[in-house]
Structure 1
Amino acid sequence: MGGDSLRHGRKRTARLSACLVVLALALAGCASIPDSGDVEPVKVSPQDESQVRVYAVPPPQNATSADIVDGFLEAMTSDDPDFAMARKYLAKDEANAWQPQKGTTVLSEAPDLEGPEKPHSADQPGLTYQMNGQEIATVDADHVYQPLKPGRYQEQLHLIQEKIGGRKEWRIDALPQGLVLGQSDFQRNYRPVDTYFYAKGDNWLVADPVFIRQRIDPLTRMDPITQAVNALLAGPTEWLKPSVTSAFPTGTQLQKGTRTLQFDDNNALTVPLNAAARTVTPLLCKKMAAQLFFTLRDLTSTRVGQIALRSGRTSLCSVTGDEAQAYEPGNAASQPDDAFYVDADGRLARLAPDDKKGGDDGNLVPGPFGHGAVKLDSVAVARDEKRAAGVAQDGKSLYVASITHDAEAGSPLVTSDGAKASDRLSAPSWDSRGDVWVADRDPGHARLLRFSGGASSAEEATVEGLDGRRIEAVRVSSDGVRVALLLTKGSRTSLEIGRVQQSGYGDHKKLAVLDLKSVTPQMETVTSVSWAGPSRLVIVGKQAGGVQQIRFIQADGSTSDASVLPGLNQVTGIAAGDKDSKPLVADSGDAGIVELPSGGNWQAIVEHGSSPVYPG
C-alpha cells in the first residue's frame, strides 16, 4: 500500500472502504497481452515510469467517521484526476472549496489520528479528529521545496452527517488546505527537477530546483515532461529570480491544450509554444532551446538528441546536445576537472589515478605551491586549472599563483589578524568568473571577501542574516550565483546557501550574499561541504544523537535515504567534481586521502596528505 499510508497510528486500520488499489506494472499502460493480430511498433516515452500506481476508491455506504477520515487521507496519496475520489469524502460545500494545489506539508510519517472528539453541546453537531505528526518540509504552490527543523504538526478534520442518496453519511466539512503526506508517500508521488536559467551578465545556465509529479499531475493532467517544460516557462523561483534571466519572452507558454510531450524515435522533442515566442531571433531561440535541453536531460532514460521549438505552424529553431553544450551549467564545458591535494610537506599535488600510498613527487604542480615556496594549509584550484589560491600553514595569508609554470609567489592578497589559526582565513573557493572567495574568521574583523580575477583588491561582501554566526567555510557554486556557507554559533555549525547579488557601478558597486536559507535544518552540525554538480552538494555532518554521515543533498535541501554514502570515520574534508563520473575524495584523518569511485567502496590512495579538492 502507498508507503506510509497505512501507518497512521491509533484508529488507522486497513478498512475496505479506505483501501487503495496498488498495481505494479512492468510497463506503464499495459493492460493485457494479445494472442493474435499483427506486430506493430510501439512508441515509448523515454521518461522513467514508477512501477507503483495507486488508485483511490470512493467511500462505501454507511461508512463510519473513522472510515471517512482514513479514506480521505489515503486518497490524498493517489494520482486521481483533480483528486475527485478524495473530494467524495468531503461535504458538498467543502468538496468545491478544497484547494490541494495550495501546497504540500511533508511529515516524517503519515499522520497519526486522535479522536473522535464529540461536540461540547447539542448545537455543535459533528465530530473532530486531530492529525498529529512531525513536520519536516513544505512544498509551496510554486513547487518549491523547503526543509524544516522537525516540529510538531497538529491540524483538525471536522465531520458532519450529510444527506446522500436518502441516507445520512459522514463527510468532512472542515480541513486544512493543500495536501498532507508522509515522507515516503511524498517521494513516491513527486520527483525533483532542475529548471535552468541564465546567470545575469553571463552566458551559462544556473540550476533552479522544483518538484513535479512522478506521473500525471492530478490537477493539470500533464505528464512529467510537460510539467517540467511548464515549470521552466513559469520562470525562476522567487529566491533565485534576482540573479538570473530567462531567454523566453514574457508571456511564453505552451500551446493551449498541451498536456503530453513525447520524444520521437530519434530522441528528439518538439515543444509547441504560443504566439509570444513567434518573433524571437535565431540566437535567442537557441538559448531558449538550450534551457529546455538541460531541464529535460535528467528526466529521460535515454540521451536527449534534439530540442525543437515551434509556434503555431512556424518552426522556430532546434538545438542538438553538442550545440547546447555552449551554455553548459556553470561554464563547466570541457574542463579537465582533476583532483588535487596538499601533501605532507605542504605542497600542492595533482591526484593521479596511479598514486601510491605516500604520494609521488612527480605529481607536484609547477610553481611556488608545488616546490614549497609557500607551505599550504588549504587550497582551491581555479576552474581552468591554470592557477590556485592557497592559504599558508599559519592561516594568516592568502596567495594566488600559477600551477602551470614556475613563478614567484608574490605578495599575499590578504592577511588576517586573528590570534590563532582557527580565527584566521578559511579555505578559499573559485567561481566561474575567475574570482577568489575567502572568509576571514578574525572575531574582531570577520568578513567575506572576493578578489576579482584572483588578483585585484578585495571586495567585501555584505552577508545578510548572519545573526551573530561566524562564517567557517565558503564554497561557491560552479555558476557563481550561489554560495554555500558553514556558519558557526556556539557548538553548532549549520549549512546555509545564499544568493550572490551585485549592484551599482564604480565607487557605488556593492556585493552582497542575500536570503540565506538553511538546507540542513535536521542536522545537528555540518563539518564539511562541497558542490557536486549544478544543483547538488555532498556534506559531512551528523544528526542529533547520531554518528557522522556523508550524504548528498539537493540545493533546496531535499534528500532521500539512498543519498547516504558508505560509512567512513573521522572525515575532516570532502570534495566532489562537477561531473558524476568523478569519484568523491575525502580527508579521513589517519587514513589520509581516500576516494569513492562510482559503485565501489572507499579506497585509500594517499597516506600522508590533506585538503583534497576539485577545481572550484
Structure 2
Amino acid sequence: MGFVVLALTLAGCASIPDKGDVEPVKASPQDESQVRVYAVPPPANASAGDIVDGFLEAMTSDDPDFSMARKYLAKDEARDWQPQKVTTVLSEAPDLEGPAKPPAPDQPGLTYQMHGVKIATIDAGHVYRPLKPAGYEQSLHLIQEQVAGHKEWRIDALPQGLVLGASDFQRNYRPVDTYFYAKADGWLVSDPVFIRQRIDPLTRMDPITQAVNTVLSGPTGWLKPSVKSSFPAGTRLQKGTRTLQFDDNNALTVPLNDAAAKAGPDACRMMAAQLFFTLRDLTSTRVSQIALRAGGSSLCSVTGDQAQAYAPGNASGRADDAFYLDSDGRLARLRPDDKKGSDKDNLVVGPLGDGSVKLDSVAIARDEKRAAGVGPDSRSLYVASIVDEAELGSPLVTSEGKKASDRLSAPSWDSRGDVWVADRDPDHARLLQFKNGTSTSEQAQVEGLDGRRIEAVRVSSDGVRIALLLTKGNRTSLEIGRVEQSGSAPHQKLAVVDLKSLTPQMETVTAVSWAGPSRLVIVGKEAGGVQQVRFIQADGSTSDASVLPGLNQVTAITAGDTDSKALVADSGDAGVVQLPTGGNWQAIVEHGSSPVYPG
C-alpha cells in the first residue's frame, strides 16, 4: 500500500532524493501546488485497511485512466467504475471507520465507512457547484478474490466518481474561463469550468488541449440558453490530438476536423477569438496569435489586437477611474494619481456633481458619460450627464417605502446602457430595468426568490448575468441569475432565471461587486467568523489565496474589470480606502462614501 509524492519547487533547482523511505501522505498541503502524486499498485497480502487507504490515495494521482486505482478494485468494479462521473470535494480528505463485519455469517466481506464534510461537486461537464457544508458518508465494501493465484482483499462496491479533500482538489484542478458569444449581442461571455492541472488521466490531454476541447464541447448547461458558439456543429480536435504547444513567438496553431472548414472567414475569426480569450490566462506570457487549421489547410488566425473586437462584456468604457460621493452627496471622480479626492476639482460636471440633489448611492455608465444616482433617503432614481452641464430632470422612479432601507437599492448599468435598480418596498418589491437610462422601464420577473428580498443588484459586464444579494430573516446570500429577454415591445418579457447560490458556506454577504468577466469581490462572514473581503468566481469556487487583507466595517466595495485596478471600499469611519495590487489598504478620502467603478 502507498503512493509516491514528489514536491517540485519553482524557486531554484529541484532534485529527486535517492535515499530514505517513501512515506504515504493523506492530503497535500494547499500551498504546494507543484506536488505530484504517483500511485503504486497494492502489495501482496495487503490488509483490507491498506487496500482502502491505497485506493483513496490513488484517486488523488494523475495516473493514466486511474489504472493503479483500479488495481485496488474487484474485477467487475475495476471495469465499471466511472471516475469521470462526478468529483466530490470534502473539506478534508475522508476519514475512515471500520472494518465492520457483515450482519449475517453467510454474507462475505468487510465494510469501511468514509466520513467527511461535503462542500462542492464537479460534474462530468467540468462544472463546479458549491454546497452548504453537510455531512458526507459512503461505504466501501471489500471481498477476497483470486489475484495471481492468491486471495487478496479488493473493493467490490463503492460510490461512482472521485472523492477528494479540498487541498488535493486544488492541487489537481484549475479554473478556466471558457468563452461563448451572447446570443443577443456580439461580445464574448465567460463560462467558468475546471480542468486538470496537468495531464488529464482519462483523455491524456494537457491543460491547453483540455481547455480547447472544453470550448469545442459547448457552453455549460446553465449558461447555454443565453450564449452560442461560433464553431460549426461537429467541430472537434483533429483525431489523436492530445498536446498543443505555443511556439517561440507564443502563437498557437489548433488542428481541427473537417467540420470546422464549413465556417466562413468572419465566423472563423470569431472561433479563433473564443480560443484566444480562453487560453490567455493559461500561459505565463501573453498570447500573440491563435491560428486554426482543418484537414491540413489553414483556415484563419487572429492576433491579440484583432481579438479585442470580440472582447468580453463589450468593454467600451475605459473604466480608468473610480468615483465616490463626497460628504455632501455630490459625485466626484477618484483619480489614481490624486489622493485629494475631497477637492472640488474632482466633482463631476452636471447636476450630480453640483449639489442639485444629495445622493445616497450611484452607478456610472460604462462609457463614463452618464451616471445614475439614488437619493435623497434612497427614495428617487435620477440619470444625468457627467460630461455636460444640464438641469436635473424628473426622477425615473420613486419608491413608496416607509423608510430608506425599504426603498431603492444602489443602481447598476449593463453593457447595453440600461440601468437596473431594486425597489425594496415590502408592499411593492420589484426589480426594474430602465432602457438606455430613460424613463422607459421593464419589470423583471425573478424566479426562485422564495420570499427573499432583493437587497443589492450588480449586472455583469456582459449583461447576461446578474448578481443579487437576497435577504430573508437575518441572512443575506449572494446568488447569480441569468438575464433573459424575449418578445418585442410592447410585449417584451424580461426575466432573471435559474438563480444559483454562490456563497452557501457563508452566513451573510453584505457587499458585492463584479471584478472582471467571471469574478466577484464580496464582503461577508462565515458562521461564527469575522467579516472578510475575498474574491469568488462566478461558479462559487474560491481558494485560500482569494482572501484579501482584513478591513473593518465595510459597507460597500467596488472593483475594475482588470486586475490592474485597485479595489476601493467604504470602510466606516475610515472613509474611502483602496487596496493597490500587492499592497495594503490605504485611506484616500476621509469623508467620502459609496465608491464605484463604471458598471
Alignment TM-score > 0.5, same fold:
yes
1:352 aligns with 2:346: no
Q: Render the CA deviation track for 1:246-276: whole Å, top value 9, x for unaligned.
A: 1111111111111000000110100011111
In structure 2, the partner of 1:6 is none
In the alignment, the residues of structure 1 paired with residue 15 and residue 66 of structure 2 have an alpha-carbon distance, to the nearest angstrom, of: 23
1:298 aligns with 2:276: no
Q: SS of the counterpart of 2:504?
A: coil
By how many angstroms is 1:21 displaced?
A: 3.4
1:51 aligns with 2:39: no
1:523 aligns with 2:502: no
By how many angstroms is 1:508 displaced?
A: 2.3
By how many angstroms is 1:120 displaced?
A: 1.8
Residue pair 1:357, 1:604 contacting (<8 A) in 2 also: no
Residue pair 1:18, 1:68 contacting (<8 A) in 2 also: no
In the alignment, the residues of structure 2 paired with residue 412 and residue 121 of structure 1 have an alpha-carbon distance, to the nearest angstrom, of: 77
Alignment of 1:59-458 (within 5 A): 59-333=42-316, 335-356=318-339, 359-458=342-441
| Structure 2: 5+ residue stretches without partners | 17-31
Going from structure 1 to structure 2, the CA distance change for 1:171 and 1:28 (only over 3 Å counts) comes to farther
Residue pair 2:319, 2:597 contacting (<8 A) in 1 also: no
By how many angstroms is 1:352 displaced?
A: 1.6
Going from structure 1 to structure 2, the CA distance change for 1:404 and 1:260 (only over 3 Å counts) comes to same
Q: SS of the counterpart of 2:281?
A: helix
In structure 2, the partner of 1:513 is 496
In the alignment, the residues of structure 1 paired with residue 96 and residue 481 of structure 2 have an alpha-carbon distance, to the nearest angstrom, of: 38
1:22 aligns with 2:29: no
Q: SS of the counterpart of 2:210?
A: helix
By how many angstroms is 1:165 displaced?
A: 1.3
In structure 1, the partner of 2:554 is 571
Q: Render the CA deviation track for 1:317-366: whole Å, top value 9, x for unaligned.
A: 00000000111110115624310000000100000234446711100000
Q: 1:492 aligns with which of 475, 484, 490?
A: 475
Q: Render the CA deviation track for 1:169-204: whole Å, top value 9, x for unaligned.
A: 000000000000000000000000000011112111
Sequence identity of aligned pairs in percent? 79
By how many angstroms is 1:507 displaced?
A: 2.6
Going from structure 1 to structure 2, the CA distance change for 1:226 and 1:123 (only over 3 Å counts) comes to same
Q: SS of the counterpart of 1:316?
A: strand
By how many angstroms is 1:31 displaced?
A: 8.9
- For residue 18 of structure 1, what is the amino acid of its counterpart? G
Q: 2:574 aligns with which of 572, 587, 591?
A: 591
1:605 aligns with 2:596: no
Count of residues paired in the alignment: 584
- For residue 596 of structure 1, what is the amino acid of its counterpart? L
User: Which shows bigger deviation, 598-607 or 273-282?
Assistant: 273-282
Q: Render the CA deviation track for 1:276-320: whole Å, top value 9, x for unaligned.
A: 111211111000000000000000001000000010111100000
In the alignment, the residues of structure 2 paired with residue 351 and residue 101 of structure 1 have an alpha-carbon distance, to the nearest angstrom, of: 49
Residue pair 1:248, 1:277 contacting (<8 A) in 2 also: yes
| Structure 1 vs Structure 2 CA RMSD | 1.6
In the alignment, the residues of structure 2 paired with residue 395 and residue 496 of structure 1 have an alpha-carbon distance, to the nearest angstrom, of: 23
Going from structure 1 to structure 2, the CA distance change for 1:28 and 1:291 (only over 3 Å counts) comes to farther
- For residue 4 of structure 2, what is the amino acid of its counterpart? L
- For residue 123 of structure 1, what is the amino acid of its counterpart? D
Q: Render the CA deviation track for 1:8-51: whole Å, top value 9, x for unaligned.
A: xxxxxxxxx2233325265999999xxxxxxxxxxxxxxxx953
1:467 aligns with 2:450: yes
Residue pair 1:429, 1:476 contacting (<8 A) in 2 also: yes
- For residue 615 of structure 1, what is the amino acid of its counterpart? P
In the alignment, the residues of structure 2 paired with residue 430 and residue 595 of structure 1 have an alpha-carbon distance, to the nearest angstrom, of: 22
Q: Under a length normalisation based on structure 1, what TM-score does the superposition of the two structures give?
A: 0.93
1:504 aligns with 2:487: yes
By how many angstroms is 1:542 displaced?
A: 0.3
Q: SS of the counterpart of 1:295?
A: helix
In the alignment, the residues of structure 2 paired with residue 25 and residue 96 of structure 1 have an alpha-carbon distance, to the nearest angstrom, of: 37
Q: Render the CA deviation track for 1:359-408: whole Å, top value 9, x for unaligned.
A: 11100000000001011000000000000000012111000000001101
Residue pair 2:34, 2:171 contacting (<8 A) in 1 also: no
Q: SS of the counterpart of 1:142?
A: coil
Q: Render the CA deviation track for 1:478-515: whole Å, top value 9, x for unaligned.
A: 00000000000011100000000011122321000000
Q: Render the CA deviation track for 1:554-573: whole Å, top value 9, x for unaligned.
A: 00000001100001100000
User: Which shows bigger deviation, 61-70 or 162-171?
Assistant: 162-171
By how many angstroms is 1:223 displaced?
A: 0.2
Residue pair 2:316, 2:366 contacting (<8 A) in 1 also: no
In the alignment, the residues of structure 2 paired with residue 64 and residue 282 of structure 1 have an alpha-carbon distance, to the nearest angstrom, of: 63
Residue pair 1:20, 1:57 contacting (<8 A) in 2 also: yes
By how many angstroms is 1:121 displaced?
A: 1.7
